[in-house]
Amino acid sequence: MLLEEYRKECTIELQFLAEVVQAIESLLAENTGDTAPLKDRAAAASFVFSFYNGIENLLKRTTKYCVVPLPKGEQWHSELALRFADPAGSGFPAIPQLITDDIHTNLLKLRKLRHVIAHGYAMNLDWLQMKPTIEAVPSVYSIFRQNLERFLVSQQP
């Protein structure tokens, strides 16, 4: 994958993620208590799903740009994230550390919540349990974006 194509794809994906973050912030502003109506829990679930998928899309694009094979098997989502949290330990030193320590735990929680969302029903989602994870999204986005932009700048021809 060429650098310009990679940059363009990253820019588009980051714009989509920014829209998701704005929607999450709006939803959180409307639901400050310990409960939220079903429609808002369902919306939050959809936004979390989209957010984590967007992060994962950027990790996959970066893997392709770095000419590294995608992981295979049932745990490929975990392995992909781990590569970007610890590139040296992954055996793929060409991969940048996009998942720094300050967001690693929250991304893990988001991936777990996405799994629950994918295999459950919105009416069973507990707002009080999911809210702290959702509240971390804007910070995770900001730090991840900075890490990705730092990598993109380092790729100057």
Q: Does the model's pTM come out above 0.85?
A: yes
Average pLDDT of the chain is 94
Query: Mind giving me the DSSP string for 97-152?
Result: --S-HHHHHHHHHHHHHHHHHHTS-GGG--HHHHHHHHHTHHHHHHHHHHHHHHHH
Q: Which domains does the chain have, with CATH numbers?
A: 3-154 (1.20.120)
pLDDT at 90: 83
pLDDT per residue as tens digits for the range 68-87: 999 998 899 999 999 999 98
What gap in Å lies between CA 114 and CA 117, rounded to an integer?
5
Average pLDDT over residues 130-154: 97
Report the pLDDT averaged over residues 33-55: 95
